[in-house]
Amino acid sequence: MTKTLLLGLDGATFTVLDGFMKEAGEEGVVMPYLAQLVKTGYSAPLKSTAHPLTPPAWTSVSTGRTPGHHGIYDFVRFEDLGKDVYFTLYDSRDIRVETFWQIAGRQGKSVVSLNFPMLAPPPEVNGALVPGFVSWKHLRRNMHPKSLFDRIKAIEGFDAQELSWDFEREGQIGEIMPDAELHDWVEGHLPRDKQWFNIGLALLSEDQPDIFALMLDGVDKIQHQAWHRLDPKYWHPDEADEAAHKVRQVVLRYYRELDTYIERLHKAAGPDVHLVIVSDHGFTGAEKVVRINRYLGELGHLTWAKSDGSEAAKRRDLANFANLDWENTQAFCPTPSSNGVVIRKQSEACPNGVPAAEYAAFRAKLIEDLLALEDPETGERVITAVQTREDAFPGAAMEDAPDLTLTLCDHGFVSVKNLEPAVVTRPVPMGTHHPDGIFVMTGPGVENRRGPAMSIVDTTTIVAHAAGMEIPKDFEGKIPATLYQPAHIAANPVKIGAAAGQNAAVKSDQEASDEQKEEVLAQLRMLGYLED
């Protein structure tokens, strides 16, 4: 039977779940099974990566390492060629270290891993692996083993298009929708998690792997778009009209279904399983739009690309990539999802970059200027923290990180568009990532309490220990002292083993063609990181 069950809920936050696990007037208890797990088990806030974004955070869960070691910082990476900058999607070959799923297999453990991002093309594992973020057209060739697709296709109700990303639907995230349209948009997302649940339940029951892991990402997408119908700060039922209540009800239906998925998977795994539920980050509401490249332009650090009025130029102006005159740009934010500022250093390819001798002073003054940016309506700072790459992402892959990582006053994502003013207030708050995710665990020897804040890399160490594995000595997480009953940890001591290996499939940088860049743009729109 399965010993360890890892369920990932993308973007899950106690801000919402605490209310859903309690009586809430006519709504009742939305998630009674999760409430039971929390009541009888261990729960804690889970601190995300330095920038709480899906790719680096879930890759930390998949590797037990922070981004400074695994090397994934965003949905895309870029290559600076001086006169131009090329963007391409990160994939599994960019992960610098071995994944947990590979390590488990080497230690004789069988695994099923479903829907975790950045794992395509899939590594070979002792079991089954289906990556997330794969379009339905490429699903068959992006899973391990290759024969797995035919097994999945035979599951009753299987629909590849429901399972995979809907470009048009995901591209609407960030748009302000009337409630009637928002209702249909939310309802359209329910079948996707159901598809993943059906696959997960079938493989769990048939394969009974030592370690089963499934990530469900509907929470994140729905919260991005319908946060103002979820967060108690914004949801005032007495003031809401019928259309708003209908949105609220379809959102609650999603969470009720999610609760049944957790219950059924837990019971299918068997009575002695260790169940671990985690999210990659939490959520909150973002009220401000911070056009960071506009501000950097006002500071004199970048120059915008001139438009010739063509359709291609218009697309570039609307894209979620910095669209700049690269020969006259020293500092820029590459994408809104990065929340980072890149400082271009002087080189033969980039003669107008910042000279090496001036880098420290340039960066220090830039930090000062970024922290000085104010909301014109309130006079308050809109950037509350600026981390250097050394502080945010220490490790062998640090040089690939942005030079500076920004935290906004409301934890929102920045804008890279050339619009003014640099700071405006949104007409409707949008859901955005918060660094505090969730951790819930039940099973033999697990304490019954709410524990102190943990790190997201603790998750991988805990799952490995629960599965009876040796913990690679270069894993960065730890077992919280309050997690287990003393007798249990004494009978099941933590065993430290050899360091994990490097990823043998790391790819070399390649220039992206125009066709590839257009594909990246389409996929980022699909992923939902669009702006107002």
pLDDT at 517: 43
> 525 pLDDT exceeds 60?
no
Percentage above 70 pLDDT, the chain? 92
**pLDDT average, residue stretch 105-118:** 97
**Distance of alpha carbon 207 from alpha carbon 156, whole angstroms:** 17
**321 token code pair:** 């990539």
**Distance of alpha carbon 327 from alpha carbon 347, whole angstroms:** 12
Task: For residue 412, count CB atoms less than 10 angstroms from its CB and return exposed for 0-12, middle for 13-18, buried for 19 or more.
Answer: buried
> 378 pLDDT exceeds 80?
yes
> 166 pLDDT exceeds 80?
no
Choose among 22, 19, 12: nearest CA to 58. Answer: 12
489-510 pLDDT, tens digit per residue, is 999 999 999 999 888 776 544 4
* Domains along the chain with CATH numbers: 4-281+435-497 (3.40.720.10), 286-431 (3.30.1360)
Whether residue 336 contacts residue 531, with contact meaning beta carbons closer than 8 Å, is answered with yes
> 164 pLDDT exceeds 80?
no
341 vs 314: which has the higher pLDDT: 341
> 165 pLDDT exceeds 80?
no
174 vs 467: which has the higher pLDDT: 467
> 282 pLDDT exceeds 50?
yes
**pLDDT average, residue stretch 7-25:** 91
**pLDDT average, residue stretch 473-499:** 97
pLDDT at 25: 59
pLDDT at 508: 44
Q: pTM value?
A: 0.93
Percent composition of the chain: helix, strand, coil (DSSP 3-state, to 5): 40, 20, 40
**pLDDT average, residue stretch 356-383:** 97
DSSP 281: -
**Distance of alpha carbon 61 from alpha carbon 95, whole angstroms:** 12
Q: Which of 145-154, 294-303, 487-496, 517-526 has the lowest mean pLDDT?
A: 517-526
Token look-up 């063509």 returns 310
Number of H helices, E strands in the chain: 19, 19
Q: What is the distance of C-alpha 70 from the center of its chain?
A: 15
> 523 pLDDT exceeds 70?
no
Token look-up 């639907």 returns 169
Give the CA count within 13 Å in the CB-facing half-sphere of 321.
29
**pLDDT average, residue stretch 133-162:** 90
Q: Which of 49-58, 280-289, 310-319, 448-457 has the lowest mean pLDDT?
A: 310-319
Mean pLDDT of the chain: 91
**pLDDT average, residue stretch 81-106:** 92
pLDDT at 477: 98
> 167 pLDDT exceeds 60?
no
Residues listed for the chain: 532
pLDDT at 139: 87
Q: Which helix (H) or strand (E) holds 418?
A: none
Kindly calculate the radius of gyration of the chain based on its CA atoms and give it in whole angstroms: 23
pLDDT at 4: 98
**528 token code pair:** 């939902």
Whether residue 104 contacts residue 126, with contact meaning beta carbons closer than 8 Å, is answered with yes
pLDDT at 169: 54
- Maximum alpha-carbon separation in the chain: 72
**Distance of alpha carbon 214 from alpha carbon 201, whole angstroms:** 10
List b or e across 507-530, with b for residues whose CB sees 16 or more CB atoms inside 10 angstroms: eeeeebeeeebeebbebbbbbbbb
Whether residue 24 contacts residue 252, with contact meaning beta carbons closer than 8 Å, is answered with no
Q: Which of 173-187, 195-209, 252-266 has the lowest mean pLDDT?
A: 173-187
**pLDDT average, residue stretch 343-347:** 96
247-280 pLDDT, tens digit per residue, is 999 999 999 999 999 999 999 998 899 999 999 9
DSSP 233: T
Token look-up 């603790």 returns 458
**pLDDT average, residue stretch 48-52:** 98
**pLDDT average, residue stretch 36-46:** 98
pLDDT at 512: 40
165 vs 110: which has the higher pLDDT: 110
- End-to-end, the C-alpha distance of the chain in Å comes to 48
**429 token code pair:** 């708050």
